[in-house]
Amino acid sequence: MLRSNRVVEVQVVGAGALNQAIKALVIARGFVAPTGLDLLCRPTFAEIEIDGQRRTAIRLLVESDHGPGADRRGDRPASGTSSRVRICGLEAS
């Protein structure tokens, strides 16, 4: 899905679900790395309703990138500051 759309949204509620989602992203990152793609993740909070109760979810916006130092518009180095968090790449802003 990331190869065609370049953006996927994952929404989770609870520590266990977040743990599993992050593990899945790490596995996916390893899967696409040989093709020259890297995965970037931008986490945000979301307020949702489950069974009539308001809950706080974590929304993970996952985007494909063309490797370290590339921006989403191509293979040019990213300029300026970034709000992206690289999965397992220890890049945070």
pLDDT per position as a tens digit, 34-71? 998 899 999 999 999 999 999 999 999 999 886 555 44
Q: What is the mean pLDDT of the chain?
A: 76
Q: Which of 93, 92, 88 is nearest to 38 (CA)?
A: 88
Structure tokens at 63: 């985007």
Instruction: Report how many domains make up the chain.
Output: 1
Does any domain span residue 92? no
What CATH number should be reported for the domain holding residue 17? 3.30.110.20
pTM listed for this prediction:
0.65
Does any domain span residue 46? yes
Does any domain span residue 60? yes
Does any domain span residue 53? yes
pLDDT per position as a tens digit, 66-88? 655 544 444 333 443 334 444 44
Structure tokens at 20: 């599993």
Q: Domain of residue 28: give its range.
A: 2-86
- Could you tell me where the beta strands, DSSP code E, fall in the chain? 7-12, 38-50, 53-65, 85-86
